[in-house]
Structure 1
Amino acid sequence: MDFVNWCELNHLQVNASKTKEMVIDFSRKPSSDIAPVNIQGLDIERWSAGEGGALSGTRRGFNRLIKRASSVCGCPLDSIEVMGERRALAKLSTIMDNTSHPLHQTVGALSSSFSNRLRHPRCRKERFHRPLRRRGP
């Protein structure tokens, strides 16, 4: 079952005009012939790599704003990274609890049989196992 059908079955409405597609391709020569995703008759805009770099600047801006708001309110506020991690864990938890969710089996396959922790997915490319090393002298 695909995502759009799942949303319709669960009475959720996908706003295709606010949806973006992000392609992650680790190949040496990224293929540009990937057809765009089409939802409800609209081709979904692809998020370019150039926009990804802009995200780090946006994150710094949000963290500055949070720091300023924290000083104005007089109470500590969490950074974007902390909030993002907390929300991601909450979303994973709801996916694992909902057996009809399309990602339930995928996420469930990552859970450890010894604890409630999620394992990191296995990587088949040897280059991703090695730590990043700084080039040069």
Structure 2
Amino acid sequence: MTKVTPLLLLVTSNLINYLKVCYNAVNDSRALVEDFVTWCGNNHLQLNVTKTKELVVDLGRRRSTPATPVSIRGADVDMVEDYKYLGVHIDNKLNGSKHAEALYKKGQSRLYFLRRLGSFNVCTKMLNMFYESVVAGTFLYAVACWGSGLRARDANRLDKLVEKASHVVGMELDSLAVGSERRSLAKLLAIMNNTSHPLHSDLAERVSTFSGRLRLPKCNTERHRRSFIPTAIRLYNAYVPS
């Protein structure tokens, strides 16, 4: 009879529980896909499998075993490492690198038009208006979703483009961090004022009856701490008078 040490037993038990969670999560996702395919068939809708992509978010440090692709009516769905959804590039690590790279390339092309406009001796007010609508509008699109979790290297690259735009416009422009904080706070206030929003009830429960501030959720990882809700709550508490 093989004896198992308490430490090995604990590790084995945690590993088995983790595998059970992963197995149940995979089965649940497969069941949701099957239910959705069935619903489409019942409502006379046909899925285009060739345009359907599967993105598996794996936040583990170790390389995991490749997941089995989803099959829809006998056809396997292509698995991708990043996907562009509603103008935002989402990667399987949720670090925003793919989106930052796309923004950098797009920002360079928009900066060219700003320089061309500046070569015609256009006034600073018009240059600033063009920057806010054409250049900054590209940088700050959905920034509340990805801005706070962006890596420092990617944020610095985008800030360099803002500095170049500042020289063209002739005035100091807000950095990416400032724009991200402003829009994140505005989004949080909009959620708190919208009773039909899915996050409204959760935020309402976090309001302190004594100070009026919001209680921060428990964050076990740095990625969670830098996500939208904890970041927006910290910004909100900083503006609430003590």
Corresponding position: 1:117 with 2:160: no
Corresponding position: 1:75 with 2:171: yes
Q: State the AA in 1 paired with 2:91.
A: W
For residue 58 of structure 1, what is the aligned residue in structure 2?
154
For residue 190 of structure 2, what is the aligned residue in structure 1?
94
How many positions carry a matched residue from both structures?
A: 101
Whole-angstrom CA distance in 1 between matches of 2:217 and 2:55? 22
Please tell me whether the aligned partners of residues 92 and 107 of structure 1 are also in contact (alpha carbons under 8 angstroms).
Answer: no
What is the CA-CA distance between 1:111 and the residue it aligns to? Answer: 2.1
- Structure 1: state its 5+ residue gaps: 1-16, 37-42, 129-137
Q: TM-score, normalised by structure 2?
A: 0.32
For residue 47 of structure 1, what is the aligned residue in structure 2?
91
What is the CA-CA distance between 1:115 and the residue it aligns to? Answer: 2.9
For the pair shown, the structure with the greater C-alpha radius of gyration is 2
Q: State the AA in 1 paired with 2:95.
A: G
- State the Cα deviation string for residues 24-51 of structure 1 (Å, max 9, x = none): 8589998987x99xxxxxx9946222x6
Q: Check 1:110–1:27 CA distance in 2 against 1; reply closer, same or farther (3 A cut).
A: farther
Q: State the AA in 2 paired with 1:90.
A: A
Please tell me whether the aligned partners of residues 206 and 214 of structure 2 are also in contact (alpha carbons under 8 angstroms).
Answer: yes
Whole-angstrom CA distance in 2 between matches of 1:111 and 1:27? 35
Whole-angstrom CA distance in 1 between matches of 2:170 and 2:163? 10
Please tell me whether the aligned partners of residues 206 and 215 of structure 2 are also in contact (alpha carbons under 8 angstroms).
Answer: yes
Whole-angstrom CA distance in 2 between matches of 1:118 and 1:99? 17
Which structure features the higher share of helix residues?
2
Identity %, equivalent residues: 37
What is the CA-CA distance between 1:121 and the residue it aligns to? Answer: 1.0
Whole-angstrom CA distance in 2 between matches of 1:30 and 1:113? 45
Q: Check 1:28–1:67 CA distance in 2 against 1; reply closer, same or farther (3 A cut).
A: same
Q: TM-score, normalised by structure 1?
A: 0.53
Whole-angstrom CA distance in 1 between matches of 2:96 and 2:193? 34
User: Higher relative contact order by CA 8 Å / sep ≥ 6: 1 or 2?
Assistant: 1
Alignment of 1:1-40 (within 5 A): 23=57
Q: Check 1:28–1:95 CA distance in 2 against 1; reply closer, same or farther (3 A cut).
A: farther
Q: Check 1:121–1:21 CA distance in 2 against 1; reply closer, same or farther (3 A cut).
A: farther
